[in-house]
Amino acid sequence: MEAARLLREGVWQAEVARRLGVRRQSVGEWAKKIRRGGVWALKAGRLGRPRKLHAEQLKRVEKQLERGPQAMRRKKWTVRRVGELIERECRVRYCAAGAWGVLRLMGWRWRGGGRGWRREGGGSSVG
């Protein structure tokens, strides 16, 4: 990694950030990881924002999804309604795109043509 090479050469963090087009704070975090665990520590861990829901919360949501949209007095699940379900069950707010991501994470896939959401591998249907 270019940042690790530059830091090993003694280039200041601000200069590394300027050369790579990133924030100085990011370079500071990288330098800390390198000091603690070497270059490989940069590759460890999860990228992106941490998940809002824990495994137990996901199980609760999935249980409600399997009960069907009738549990919320609806005919069909939409991603907006799944977001409402998540908010009701877990007190965590998701927009439609976020709810879509949660469904995908749980192994549900959208099937067009009025078939709605289905669990990958042919399991239950939602919608």
pLDDT tens per residue, range 56-71: 999 999 998 888 777 7
**Residue predicted with more confidence, 68 or 116:** 68
- pLDDT attached to residue 42: 78
- pLDDT attached to residue 44: 65
Task: Provide the residue ranges of all domains of the chain, joining segments of one domain with +.
Answer: 2-42, 55-126
Task: Give pairs for 71-78: CB < 8 Å, separation 24+.
Answer: 76/116, 76/127, 77/116, 77/117, 77/126, 77/127, 78/127
Q: In a 3-state reduction of DSSP, which class is residue 18?
A: helix
**pLDDT tops 90 at residue 13:** yes
**Residue predicted with more confidence, 29 or 112:** 29
Model pTM score: 0.54
- pLDDT attached to residue 87: 93
